[in-house]
Amino acid sequence: MTTLFIDGDACPVRDEACRVAHRHGVPVVVVANGSRPMRRSEWPNVTMVTVAAGADVADDWIAGRIGGADVCVTNDIPLAARCLATGARALSANGRVWTPDNIGNALAGREIGRHLREIGLNTGGPAPMGKRDRSQFLNSLDTLLTAARRPRPPMARPP
């Protein structure tokens, strides 16, 4: 069964994701470390998990439980990479679908940005979410949940 995992700390599309998952009949697990207040979800398919405070504690919780039929919503590129490594699907809050083909470049770009900030350059940060981003997110999540619920074709055996 497919489960939608949401990296809940600072997720700007949590409510939208829960609504789409409810429509698909998919359970949702919102994981956060409690650094920001989280209000209870109105959706019956949503479980809220509060983990201990600390760097990557929520990420570790998700990465330790996500499986190949699942989907994760996260803006954390390393967490997305960890999810992809399990065979799961991942997407960002602006609707960018992470794949094995694009995650390497995203990780490299993240490291370059980190290095530039360390040497004192301002990298600007992410652009604010707009209507177009939310629409792209909704379309991408709908597509990923539909795909995740279909059985994957068996892998071809090497000759």
Q: Give pLDDT, residue 120.
A: 85
pLDDT at 157 over 70: no
Q: Give pLDDT, residue 39.
A: 74
List Cβ neighbours of 129 (8 Å cut-off, separation of 6 or more).
Answer: 12, 13, 93, 94
Could you tell me what percent of the chain has a pLDDT over 70?
Answer: 93
pLDDT: is 146 or 9 the higher one?
146
Domains and CATH numbers, the chain: 4-149 (3.40.50)
Average pLDDT, the chain: 90
Band of pLDDT at residue 158, cut at 50, 70 and 90: low
Band of pLDDT at residue 152, cut at 50, 70 and 90: low
